[in-house]
Structure formats: structure tokens, C-alpha cells
Amino acid sequence: MEVGLKMGFEETELRLGLPGGGDGGEVVRKRGFSETVDLKLKLSSKHGGSGIDLSEEKKMTGLNKEKNLLLSATDPAKPPAKAQVVGWPPVRSFRKNILAAATQKSGSSDESGGEKAAFLKVSMDGAPYLRKVDLRMYTSYHQLSDALAKMFSSFTIGNCGSQGVKDFMNESKLMDLLNGSDYVPTYEDKDGDWMLVGDVPWEMFVESCKRLRIMKGTEAIGLAPKAVEKCKKRG
Amino acid sequence: MQKKTTYSFPDEVLEHVCSFIQSDKDRNSVSMVCKSWYEVERWCRRKVFVGNCYAISPRMVIRRFPEIRSIELKGKPHFADFNLVPDGWGGYVLPWIVEMAEAYPWLEEIRLKRMVVTDESLELVAKSFKNLEVLVLFSCEGFSTDGLAAIAGSCKNLRELDLRDSEVDDLSGHWLNHFPETYSSLVSLNISCLGSDEVSFSALECLVGRCPNLRSLLLNREVPLDKISNILRRAPQLVEFGTGIYAAELHPDVFSNLAGAFSSCKELRSLSGFWDAVPAYIPAIYSVCSGLTSLNLSYATIQNPDLTKLVSHCPSLQRLLVLDYIEDNGLEALASSCKGLQELRVFPSDPFGAEPNVSLTERGLVAVSLGCPKLQSVLYFCRQMSNAALVTIAQNRPNLTRFRLCIIDPKMADYQTLKPLDVGFGAIVEHCKDLRRLSLSGLLTDRVFEFIGRYAKKLEMLSLAFAGETDMGLHHVLSGCESLQKLEIMDCPFGDKALLENAAKLETMRSLWMSSCLVSLGACKTLGQKMPRLNVEVIDEKGPPDSRPESHPVAKLYIYRSVAGPRLDMPPFVWTMNEDSV
């Protein structure tokens, strides 16, 4: 079952002139995510196209795809953008975050220093507990959406229920959850406002996102106008 | 007929003797001498350590040891530190608190590591243990400052509150205000993990000012530099101090204030904090450097030459935590100035960078190993290593007890010979006969495990990643390492054979973690069914493992001995392979 972000904002392209450039500056599409980014949360593992194909997984002999890419990169001239393997190197989260702040400070000149932790809480309406993600592990909305789908798919594969009770492949439960409502990823930004994920360029999102919430589509409707206003404010 | 003479003395005497035996191991030995010794010992045991909260139930502990005053519990497996254990896995302390609230009203010390602690648990602690003196929450999560407020408000005898590395929901900095005006018994406070912007400075200063026995104070990052002087002046008796953010614009007044405050602390032996440290303010601590035995600069962003200069000012250093900004040169300087160094931890400043950003190689570690005769404990992140270096280290430092080497790129060979690092690590285990903890990295074949199985007889904890070639590797470890307690493995080609052949060994260990290896579901089931005293848990976030063939490797596997049977609080993504449930 496909879950998508239902918003008709493709027409409201905002044009941002780049500093120093004229009107011929690049169009930064704030609503163009449906072209560049596929934010559909595919909550069922049966659906093809998302997640790792199980037969493929077998071939990986315990190492996942990203690690193979990492290890087989041979071109010395172009250091590969390191796909981050979970758990490696064995550095604790609070150390990772501090260093990220430091390197940002010393690296780019116009980033505001003193970043807060990149580990963010992700909640999903109806799920029994929170999860956490490190946004710096991903380089695009697509990767994030994949990761979120994997993280929360276990809730909808029918394993929901009170402690210890497992409903395997309970179709009706699955339908209850997804019935009539799409799941929409939203986030709370630095100002405390709830925004729709996908509104802004990835880097800006990573900067400003404080926590994530995957809410039922019906609840997300009220967010749209806020998001537009915010963008207007930012110009 | 021979007359049997029974030697015995009154229980009270045995109890008195027992009270001098503090080590758990010795206590356990005492309890196994005979039934009456078992009885005496269990009534007078005051301290209990439960290395895995699922290995036994709280009821069982209480039944055997009715008079406990101090308890230590550990929850999640170590690899949870690196995000390998999904949220919701378990490790809840509440069931323990509930049982102990009834059974141990006189409980004085609670130490928890990697457990989920809710505000409800903390509130129950506050309500139930009026004599609580020590609360240590090490790498815990699940609670907020509301829970801390409850503790502060009720625990009149609290001496030590240590939240190190915990994840706390900061709802308000005002929890400190809950310590009553009359409260003055604080000896140790570690709030370094708190993130709140609203640390109430006045409450903190007040608290510090009225606790004359305060010896250890570790502040959180949010406490600005210019506030430190006030706090230090109120607590010149501090032995251990952790600053907050150690950066500010250079004001001569602020600097001299700070320097003066530090110099008034004649007992200071340990410093930490130094978030985002700037070189300008480092000299403020020079007056205490000569007495420092422990220095944690692992959050300090200062680089050479300032970093090396600082370290060279501390000749009494026994423990140094630092970022790889120290570089080989800095470590060479350390080796010549700090002859009493016992523990060194070098953390990576840019662990995910593709290229090295600092000049830190095996050279630095070799220098410290040669120059510091008392070096026992090493944690070292670097990007290259050689067998020759490891052999040198091993030969010069046979007194190493903890050796954790992390070569950042997986499967890196000896950069000089391009061979695996088997021989180097082999030398470590061969020469360092008291080695208790070892972490391997780099390119490693089954051969290194042959060495480990042969020589590492005192090894208690082994951590592996991207190592080995066949099941023989795992077999060598399980069959050879007599003292092995904890084994954690990620991304190694180890499968069913070694595990099943050494099933009995697993009952002698605390736990085994294997993720991204080749252990099949079928083998897990077999193990779970054949070994009732092992809990065999498969962690799989994609769905029930049964939906795949039995030959399919499981994603993550956690096996631990238990007398409590399979646990009842497993989340949807954890499956037990125990007979009844499969």
C-alpha cells in the first residue's frame, strides 16, 4: 500500500535569486519534492521497489550493499562519499554530534555554529514507542524515507498489540491502521513549528529539524498554510 | 572406628568474617562451601551486581539476598552504544524498582547501566528508598528532569547523583530547586549529559555553596565560561570538576577571575568538560595542572600546539582522554612528560571523513607504549596500523589489561606489508598475559583467532568487526578463551557450525551478540530448544524470521544465560527461540 504526500503545491514554485545573481538565478523549488524526492512511505514490505529484496540480501553474506560499495571503491582521486554503516566506527552518538558541530564550525563559514544533537526522536502516530534517527547518516529525503519506512514497517506487519501478543499478518489490523489515512512525515523545526517534511532543501532541513513525527494525513492538513507562510517569511 | 570431629564456630563469627569480604567472586566462593555457610553468607550480603538484568528475576535475587543495601544492574548489550540495538528493545528498570521497593526499604545505592529508566521509576525510587545515598544512571534513557525533581525533593540522604552519558528529556532546569534548603549532603554531582538551556545557575550556585562535602561536580555544556568562577569559589574543596562550554570572547577580567578561581582549588585532581575549548582560556587551568591525575579533553576542539602544550604541563597524569588532534607529535610529548600514565583514550575527530584530517598514526601509540611503563588501558582510533607496531607495543607493555584498537576503515591491512594484522594482535595476546578486554580491527584472518584461543586465557570481553574467514575463527575463541564472559561480533562470516559445537560454552558466558553474521534461523531454533538455560533472541526489524527459510541468516542475534527463562517484555521485533514459543 502506497502512502504519499498529498499536496497540490507544485504550482507554487518559489523563485530564489542567488546572491549576486539577477533574476536569471536558479529556481529553488520548494515544492518540487515529488520530482526530486520520492517521499512515499511504503509501509508494507511486500510492495516492490522499496527496501532490500530478500533474495539479494542472501547474496550479501552478511554485509549490506552500502558496505560493499564502500569497500570496493578503488578510485583514489575521488574519495567516496562514505555510506555510513550502522555501528561502525564504534563511536557513541554524543561524540558524533559534538564533532559534527566542531567540524561545521571550522568548515563552512556561514553556518551557524553550535549545532544541537543530530539524533532526533521520530514518533509515529499509533506506534508504541519512539525511534531515533541521525539525520547526518542520510544525504537525501529519499534515503530518510526509506529508513523511516523500514523502521516503522514492523508495526504494521501485524505485530502490533499489547505486550507479548503477536498478531502475525493480521490483515484487519493493518487495514485499520491505514484505512482512509495516509501517513505524512512532519517535523518540528528550530522555531517550534510543525512543518511538512520535504518542504525545504535537504541541508536546510537537517539544520532546522528538531524532531520528526509521522502523523495521519488527516491531521497534517492544517500544516500546509503554516509552511507557505514560513517560506514567505524566509523569502 | 574414627571419631569425627566437627569444627564449627557460631554464625555470628562467620558473619563478622564475611563482612570483610567485599569481592563478589569471593562471596560466591564462600557461599559454596557448605549449606550453613551459604545461609550465613546470603543473610549478610549487602551488595549485589547483576550484569544482565534478564539473567535473573528480581524476585529470585530478593529471595536469596534479603538484606541488600546496594544494587548494580546492567541492561542493554554494549553494542547499543553504537545504535545496533533498536529502540524499545528492553532493559526496563521499573519491575526491579517495584519489587525492591517492598523488599529493600533500606536500600542505599542504585547503579544502573544501559537501562530504560522512566520518570515513574524515579518517582517510585524517591518514594520508597528514604535512605538512598547513591544514584548512578550510566548511559540510561527514558526519563526527564521531572523524575530528577522527584529524587531531589525526597532523597534527603543523597550523596551521589551521577547521570553520566544518559539521555535526559530536559523539561526544565528548575529540578535543582527541588533540593530543599536544608539539604547539604551532596558529595558528587554529574549532570554533564543535560542539554537544557535553562540550568538554573542560582539554584546550582546555592546548592554548591551549601554542600561542604562536595568533591565532584561535572557541569553540562550549557554552563557558560564566565559562571565557572563563581561556582569554583564556592567549592574550593573540589577534587573533580567538569566545565561547561569552555569558549568565550577573551576578556582579561573573565580570564583572571577564572585563573584565580582555579588556583584556589588546591585539591583538584581531575578535569573534564572543555566543550569547544578555545586556546585563549586554557592557561587559566595551568595552576592546577601539576596535580592533575585525570584529564578528559575528548570534547575539546583545541589543536596543536596548544593541545600538546597543555598536556605537557601535567606530569602527574594517570588518565588522559583526548581527540586525535593531539597527533603523533603530541603523543610523543605525552610519552616523555607523563611517566605515570595508566590509561589513554584517543577519539576520532572526524570518524566519517573519507580522508585523514590529522597526523595521527600508529607512531603515537607506539611512543606512549614505549615511554609510559604503567600503561594498562588503551582505546585508540587511527587510520593505519602495522604488525611491527603491534609487536613493539606488545613486547614493551606486557602489563596491558585493556587494549581496544579501532582502525577506522574496515579490513585495513598492515600498511607496510599489506598483510593481515594477525601476527600483531597475536603478539598482544601472547605477551599481555593479563589482558581482560580486547577489541580488534583491520584485516584479520582466522589465524588471529587461533592466537587468541591459544593465549588469551584471562580475556573476559572480546569485540570483533569485519574479521575472520570461516567458522574456525569463532571456534578458536569459544573453545580456547577460558575466561570469556562477553563476546560481541558484527559483520563477521561466522555461522552455525562453531556456534552449535560450542553451545555449552555459552552457558559459561554472560552474553553473545552477533549481527550481520551468517547464523541461520534454523541454528538459532536448535540452540534455543536444546539449551533451556540460554535465552536465544533474534532481533529482526523487517518482520517475523519465520517468514523466511530456516537457512536464512538472522539479522541480529543476542544469546545470554538466564535462570529466569525467556523474557516477557520483548518488543515486536525480538523473537525468542525458546522451545515453548517457537
* Shortest CA gap B331–chain A (Å): 21
What per-residue confidence (pLDDT) applies to A141? 85
DSSP string, B350-407: -TT-SS--S---HHHHHHHHHH-TT--EEEEEES---HHHHHHHHHH-TT-SEEEEEE
pLDDT category at B115 given cuts 50, 70, 90 is very high
Dist. CA B47–CA B564, nearest whole Å: 20
The secondary structure of B126-162 as a DSSP string is: HHH-TT--EEEEES-EEEEHHHHHHHHHH-TT--EEE
**Minimum mean pLDDT among A9-23, B85-99, B452-466: which range?**
A9-23
pLDDT of residue B496: 97
Distance from CA of B43 to the nearest CA of A (A): 36
Contact yes or no for B347 and A129 at CB 8 A: no
Chain A (74-103) residues lying within 8 Å, Cβ to Cβ, of chain B:
79-82, 84-96, 98-99, 101-103
The pLDDT confidence band at residue B570, using thresholds 50, 70 and 90, is very high
Taking the CA of residue A95 and the nearest CA in chain B, the distance in Å comes to 8
Kindly report the nearest CA distance between residue A232 and chain B, in angstroms: 29
Task: Report pLDDT digits (tens) over B65-77.
Answer: 999 999 999 999 9
B152: Cβ contacts below 8 Å, ≥ 6 apart: B158, B175, B176, B178, B179, B183
Indicate yes or no: CB of A150 within 8 angstroms of CB of B195.
Answer: no
Q: Smallest CA–CA separation between A62 and chain B, in Å?
A: 5
Q: Say if residue B464's pLDDT is above 90.
A: yes
Interface test with B, best of A95, A120, A122, A167 (most B CBs within 10 A): A95
| Tens of pLDDT, residues A158-189 | 333 333 223 333 344 444 444 444 677 888 88
Task: Tell me how close the Cα of A109 comes to any Cα of chain B, in angstroms.
Answer: 17
Residue corresponding to grid cell 562467620: B14
**Residue A157 contacts B where some CB pair is shorter than 8 Å:** yes
Q: With contacts defined as CB-CB under 8 Å, which chain A residues touch B355? A: 79
Angle at A209 between CA A204 and CA A213, to 5 degrees: 135
The answer to whether residues B341 and B368 touch, using CB atoms and an 8 Å cutoff, is yes
Mean pLDDT value across residues B478-494: 98
pLDDT score of A102 more than 90: no
In angstroms, what separates the C-alpha of B471 from chain A's closest C-alpha? Answer: 14
Residue B575 backbone dihedrals phi, psi, to 5 degrees:
-120, 135
CA A32, CA A10: separation in Å to the nearest integer?
6
CB-CB under 8 Å, A45 with B275: no
Q: Which residue of B has its CA nearest to A55?
A: B552
Contacts of B490 in chain A (CB under 8 A): 87-88
Among A54, A88, A131, the residue with its CB nearest the CB of B87 is: A131
Q: Does the reported pTM lie above 0.90?
A: no
What is the band of A64 on the pLDDT scale with cuts at 50, 70, 90?
A: very low
Query: Residue holding cell 597543555?
Result: B310
Bridge partners (DSSP) of residue B377 are: B343, B402
DSSP letter at B550 equals T
Q: Does A42 touch chain B (CB under 8 A)?
A: no
Q: Which residue has better confidence, A191 or B175? A: B175
Kindly report the length of chain B.
582
pLDDT at A13: 42
Are B87 and A130 a contacting pair at CB < 8 A?
A: yes
The confidence score (pLDDT) of residue A144 equals 84
Average pLDDT over residues B497-521: 97
Determine the residue type at A122: V
Q: What is the pLDDT of residue A232?
A: 53
Asked which of B17-31, B62-76, B365-379 is least confident by mean pLDDT, the reply is B17-31
Pairing of strands B437-439, B402-407: parallel
Helices (H) and strands (E) in chain B, counts: 21, 23
Q: Taking CB atoms and an 8 Å limit, are B87 and A96 in contact across chains?
A: no
B354 neighbourhood in chain A, CB within 8 Å = 79-82
B300 min Cα distance to partner chain A (Å): 9
Question: Residue A96 has what pLDDT?
Answer: 74
How far apart CA B377 and CA B360 sit, in angstroms, is 19
Is A109 part of the contact surface with chain B (CB cutoff 8 Å)? no
Interface touch A95/B347, C-beta < 8 Å = yes
Given a cut of 50, whether residue B12 has pLDDT beyond it is yes
Contacts of A54 in chain B (CB under 8 A): 548, 552
Nearest by CB to residue A157, choosing from B79, B353, B543, is B543
pLDDT of residue A31: 38
Chain B: residue whose CA lies nearest to A87: B82
Q: Is the dihedral of CA B263, B267, B269, B275 positive or negative?
A: negative
Higher local confidence (pLDDT), A153 or B412: B412
- The answer to whether residues A33 and A13 touch, using CB atoms and an 8 Å cutoff, is no
Confidence of residue A94 (pLDDT cuts 50, 70, 90): confident
Nearest alpha carbon to residue B558 among B465, B490, B468, B474:
B490
Q: With contacts defined as CB-CB under 8 Å, which chain B residues touch A88?
A: 82, 410, 465-466, 490-491
Instruction: Select from B139, B516, B550 the residue whose CB has the most chain A CBs within 10 Å, as the one to mutate to test that interface.
Output: B516
Q: Assign residue B155 a region: left if phi > 0, alpha if psi is -120 to 50, beta otherwise?
A: beta
What confidence score (pLDDT) does residue B546 get? 87
Helix/strand/coil for B205: helix
Q: What pLDDT, on the 0 to 100 scale, is given for residue B195?
A: 82
Nearest to A79 among B83, B354, B553 (CB): B354
Q: Does A150 touch chain B (CB under 8 A)?
A: yes
Neighboring chain A residues of B542 at a CB cutoff of 8 Å: 45, 51, 150, 153-154
Does the structure show a pLDDT above 80 at A38?
no
- Of residues B86, B165, B491, nearest to A94 (C-beta): B165
Residues of chain B contacting A166 with CB distance shorter than 8 Å: 544, 572
Question: pLDDT tens, A104-146?
Answer: 554 433 333 333 445 778 887 777 667 778 787 788 888 888 7
- A103: nearest CB among B350, B491, B517: B350
User: Measured between beta carbons, which residues in chain B are less than 8 angstroms from residue A131?
Assistant: 86-88
Instruction: Please name the residue of chain A whose CA is at the shortest distance from the CA of residue B412.
Output: A71
Q: What ipTM, to 2 d.p.?
A: 0.88
pLDDT category at A40 given cuts 50, 70, 90 is very low
Tell whether the model's pLDDT for residue B125 goes beyond 90: yes
**Mean pLDDT computed over every residue of chain B:** 94
List of chain A residues whose C-beta atoms are within 8 Å of the C-beta of residue B548:
54
Q: Is A114 on the interface with B (CB under 8 A)?
A: yes
